[in-house]
């Protein structure tokens, strides 16, 4: 191998070593990139880097990230999710597995209005897990349903994953939002069918709400209008304006942020404390995302400058099956990386390495990006470092063990694999809507 190829391997190996000894991922990216880049380029690296950093912080599309985060945090802190969950749970109460289905539906609505996995998992777990245990749900099924439903925000737009993937693959945010909408609903439907089958096969694991408890609660129609309709209309307005081409993602995100504040105001929950907590949460999440993006730039610059793209081309040329073989290899690699890395590192480190190969094949980037988003979603559920599992463990009552959480996640990981297979064999699930609306 040439000297540059050894440097590329040192770059990747140094990053993985730093990460495994406990150095934060962002710092690992920056240190490995600066060190190997300086060895390969000398001081010239530092003259190239400012332009890349400036491009990240001045990217107009990226402004949608803090606005969507604000919308999600506001709806979570104002207890809108709590109201939705209670109402939909009563609606689905007569069905075995009905509370689990209600959690999936709320996961869809929360995903479409927040896109923040941690907030959704923690909120839903604190509201429902004690109740599910009291009603006789199997601990593993309850845990798995909450974790899986909380991750729906990673595929259902508006999703931070889709915003960043649009930037990486060179497609518009609106196109990827339209492409991911149906696959997200398909995945939610797969979850619902699984819970219905479980309700018939093992009703004792997912029992219905007792008739006496359902009879004591009235005004269901009024509560649906009061608690479910406002966030549903907000979701339709934000996504509809982007997909229809009426508003850019940043403009729609700003209206979503304003709409979430108006919903909290209408619910009489807007106050200085809520606003302060929302702004603090928005700042924390946004700073984390942008810090990783900035630290990824020296790594990406060193990798490409040293000829990493050519090395990847040569590796992919050895794979059998041409384009299909390359896509399958990428899906397998992303799935394995999801056991150890977060989606944002996988997106900005692994994916750009392979994109030139797929551009050479003429692969549909919209389909590929949607496949990647579905695959990255699994990283939140795969042990040992699935973040949804950690979020749930942090708020789970004493009766829920780590074993319950891990066992509960496994069937939903298999269901997500099934959804990825559906999308792989039927690309129209992702490509139909963007073509239908003329994207």
pLDDT per residue as tens digits for the range 99-137: 888 888 888 877 766 556 666 677 677 777 777 787 778
Q: Taking the domains of the chain in order of start, what are their residue ranges?
A: 60-436
| CB half-sphere exposure, 128, CA atoms < 13 A | 38
Task: Specify the pLDDT at position 347.
Answer: 78
CA proximity to 109, closest of 68, 142, 75: 75
Tell me, what's the pLDDT at 287? 84
Single pTM value for the model? 0.78
Q: How many helices (H) and strands (E) does the chain have?
A: 23, 0
- Tell me: cis bond preceding 384? Omega within 30 of 0 counts: yes
Identify the pLDDT of residue 268: 85
Q: What pLDDT is attached to residue 293?
A: 78
C-alpha pair distances (Å), 185 with each of 149, 208, 215: 12, 24, 31
Q: Is 317 exposed, middle or buried (0-12, 13-18, 19+ CB in 10 A)?
A: exposed
The label of the residue with tokens 């389909």 reads 367
d(CA 201, CA 169): 43
Please, what is the average pLDDT of the chain?
A: 81
* Residue 356, token pair as written in the block: 């030139």
Question: Using CA atoms, how far apart are residues 390 and 425, in angstroms rounded to an integer?
Answer: 32
Distance CA 49, CA 34 (A): 10
pLDDT of residue 179: 92
* Cα 125 to Cα 95: distance, rounded to the nearest angstrom: 20
- Cβ–Cβ < 8 Å for 372, 421: no
pLDDT confidence of residue 41: 79
DSSP states of 364-430: -HHHHHHHHHHHHHHTTTSSSS-HHHHHHHHH--TT--HHHHHHHHHHHHHHHHHHHHHHHH-THHH
Q: What is the pLDDT of residues 140-188, one digit of tens each?
A: 888 898 888 888 878 888 777 888 888 888 888 888 988 998 999 999 9
In this prediction, the residues of the chain whose per-residue pLDDT falls under 50 are none
Q: Distances in Å between the alpha carbon of 26 and those of 3, 179, 357?
A: 26, 30, 26
């Amino acid at each position: 191998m040439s000297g540059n190829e050894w440097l590329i391997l040192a770059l990747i190996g140094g990053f993985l070593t730093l990460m495994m000894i406990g150095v934060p991922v962002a710092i690992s990216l920056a240190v490995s990139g600066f060190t190997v880049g300086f060895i390969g380029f000398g001081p010239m690296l530092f003259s190239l880097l400012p332009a890349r950093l400036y491009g990240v912080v001045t990217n107009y599309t990226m402004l949608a990230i803090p606005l969507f985060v604000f919308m999600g945090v506001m709806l979570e802190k104002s207890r809108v999710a709590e109201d939705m969950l209670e109402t939909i749970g009563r609606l689905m109460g007569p069905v075995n597995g009905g509370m689990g289905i209600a959690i999936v539906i709320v996961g869809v609505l929360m995903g479409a209005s927040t896109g923040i996995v941690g907030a959704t998992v923690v909120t839903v777990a604190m509201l429902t897990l004690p109740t599910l245990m009291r009603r006789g749900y199997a601990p593993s099924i309850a845990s798995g349903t909450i974790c899986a439903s909380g991750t729906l925000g990673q595929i259902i737009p508006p999703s931070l994953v889709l915003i960043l993937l649009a930037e990486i693959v060179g497609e518009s945010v609106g196109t990827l939002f339209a492409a991911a909408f149906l696959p997200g609903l398909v995945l939610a439907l797969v979850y619902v069918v699984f819970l219905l089958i479980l309700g018939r096969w093992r009703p004792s694991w997912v029992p219905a709400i007792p008739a006496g408890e359902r009879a004591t609660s009235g005004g269901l129609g009024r509560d649906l209008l009061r608690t479910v309709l406002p966030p549903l209309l907000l979701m339709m307005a934000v996504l509809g304006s982007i997909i229809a081409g009426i508003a850019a993602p940043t403009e729609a995100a700003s209206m979503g942020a304003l709409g979430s504040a108006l919903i909290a105001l209408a619910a009489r929950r807007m106050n200085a404390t809520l606003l302060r907590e929302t702004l603090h949460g928005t700042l924390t999440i946004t700073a984390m995302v942008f810090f990783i993006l900035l630290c990824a730039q020296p790594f990406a610059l060193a990798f490409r400058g040293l000829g990493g793209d050519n090395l990847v081309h040569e590796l992919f040329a050895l794979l059998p099956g041409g384009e299909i073989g390359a896509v399958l290899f990428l899906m397998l690699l992303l799935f394995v990386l999801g056991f150890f890395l977060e989606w944002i590192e996988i997106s900005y480190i692994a994916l750009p390495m392979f994109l030139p190969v797929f551009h050479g094949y003429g692969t549909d980037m919209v389909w590929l990006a949607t496949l990647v988003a579905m695959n990255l979603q699994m990283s939140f559920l795969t042990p040992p470092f699935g973040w949804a599992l950690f979020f749930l463990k942090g708020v789970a009552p004493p009766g829920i063990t780590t074993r319950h959480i891990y066992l509960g996640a496994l069937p939903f990981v298999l269901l997500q694999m099934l959804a990825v297979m559906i999308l792989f064999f039927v690309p129209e699930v992702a490509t139909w809507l963007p073509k239908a609306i003329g994207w």
